[in-house]
Amino acid sequence: MNWINRLKQANIGEILENEPLSKHTSWKIGGACDGFIIPKNREKLVETLKILAEENIPWKVIGRGSNLLVLDQGYRGAILHLASKEFEQIEFHGQQVFVGTNVSIIRLANLAAKQSLSGLEFAGGIPGTIGGAIYMNAGAHGSDISKVLVEAEVLLENGKVEKWSNRDFAFAYRTSRLQKEKGILLSALFQLKPGDRKKMIEQMIRFKERRTKTQPYHLPSAGSIFRNPEGDYAGRLIEELGLKGYQIGGAQISTIHGNFIVNVGQATAKDVLALIKMVQVKVWEAFKIWLKPEVEVVGEE
Alpha helices in 36-104 (DSSP H): 42-54
Length of the chain: 301
CA distance 122 to 197: 15
The CA-based diameter of the chain, rounded to the nearest angstrom, is 58
Q: Is 294 a catalytic residue?
A: yes
Q: Is 162 a catalytic residue?
A: no
CA distance 85 to 253: 37
2: three-class secondary structure by DSSP: helix
CA distance 130 to 128: 7
Which of 189-223 are b and which e, b meaning 16 or more Cβ less than 10 Å from the residue's Cβ? Answer: bbbbeebeeeebbebbeebeeebeeebbbebbbbb
Q: Is 224 a catalytic residue?
A: yes
Strands (E), 228-282: 247-248, 251-253, 261-263
Of the candidates 42, 174, 221, 254, the residue annotated as catalytic is 174
Q: Which residues contact 79 (CB under 8 A, 6 or more apart)?
A: 19, 21, 24, 33, 35, 36, 37, 59, 60, 61, 62
Of the candidates 22, 176, 187, 224, the residue annotated as catalytic is 224
Cross-strand pairs, 149: 190
Q: How far is CA 53 from CA 24, 56, 182, in A?
A: 24, 5, 13
Give me the active site residues, please.
Answer: 174, 224, 294
